[in-house]
């Protein structure tokens, strides 16, 4: 089989222990020069969307800051909290085993689809030993598209160029934990294996259009079977 598996990061592979919201607050402070009085609204959205809303919530015009400046603030904010992330967060049970098991299947390429910057997505997984086994050259990251569904297309294009295989809706699988993740796959052109490790339960994820839904990643065989069945279902 040939498949592109795109992993969401927060609440799918790791729990960040609140450090993600702290990172957005820190980035805001670096940009605006004042402390936050409102919390970032996250949940399967992209960094540009989250930061634009956070700035607006504080009466600051997002257009006052170039994208590169916002990205730089986000990267610097998380880097300064790397040790705090290690203390407060953790890898979700089964995450490492699932990545390893899929890596052993010939033809499967694994990467990341996240609203975070590439650097911050890497840091979040690297801190917990999950970055290895994922191809960071063919994912979709926060500043690659204006909305999350657009990141799917970016990742498919990068993987197609890198591996010389066409990746499309028939052989791309997005693994995520929120309704927004499911919608990103449905609208962006991917099948979705959802895991109920975030705020949305199994029934909600299924109703949103997930092809397969699992309670979590602890059953490695079930994760692999869900990915394989999803791809074969579309062949």
Q: What is the CATH number of the domain that holds 230?
A: 3.40.50.1000
Count of Cβ atoms closer than 10 Å to residue 57 Cβ: 15
> What backbone phi and psi angles, to 5 degrees, belong to 96?
-65, -45
Helix residue ranges per DSSP H, 33-116: 47-57, 67-79, 82-88, 95-103
Higher pLDDT, 205 or 148: 205
If asked whether residues 103 and 214 sit together in one domain, one would say yes
Q: How far apart are CA 193 and CA 182, in angstroms?
A: 8
Determine what percent of the chain is predicted with pLDDT higher than 70.
98
Residue 24: predicted pLDDT? 96
pLDDT in tens, 15-56: 999 999 999 999 999 999 999 999 998 877 899 999 999 999
Kindly report the pTM of this predicted structure: 0.94
* Whether residues 33 and 103 fall in one domain: no
Q: Which domain holds residue 79?
A: 19-86
Average pLDDT over residues 59-63: 95
Q: Which residue reads 């290690």 in tokens? A: 86
107 and 46 fall within a common domain: no
Q: Who has greater pLDDT, 43 or 215? A: 215
Q: Domain total for the chain?
A: 2
């Amino acid at each position: 089989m040939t498949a592109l598996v795109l992993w969401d990061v927060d609440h799918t592979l790791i729990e960040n222990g609140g450090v993600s919201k702290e990172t957005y607050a820190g980035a805001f402070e670096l940009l605006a020069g004042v402390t936050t009085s409102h919390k970032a609204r996250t949940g399967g959205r992209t960094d540009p969307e989250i930061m634009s809303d956070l700035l607006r919530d504080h009466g600051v015009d997002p257009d006052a800051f170039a994208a590169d400046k916002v990205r730089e603030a986000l990267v610097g904010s998380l880097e300064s909290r790397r040790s705090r992330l290690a203390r407060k967060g953790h890898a979700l049970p089964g995450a490492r085993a699932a990545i390893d098991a899929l890596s052993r299947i010939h033809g499967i390429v694994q990467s990341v689809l996240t609203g975070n910057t590439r650097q911050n997505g890497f840091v979040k997984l690297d801190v917990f030993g999950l970055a290895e086994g994922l191809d960071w050259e063919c994912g979709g990251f926060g500043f690659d598209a204006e909305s999350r569904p657009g990141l799917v297309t970016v990742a498919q294009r990068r993987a197609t160029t890198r591996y010389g295989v066409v990746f499309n809706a028939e052989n791309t699988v997005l693994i995520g934990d929120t309704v927004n993740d499911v919608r990103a796959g449905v609208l962006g052109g991917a099948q979705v294996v959802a895991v109920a490790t975030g705020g949305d339960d199994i029934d909600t994820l299924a109703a949103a259009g997930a092809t397969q839904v699992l309670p979590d990643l602890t059953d490695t065989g079930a994760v692999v079977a869900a990915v394989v069945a999803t791809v074969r279902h579309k062949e």
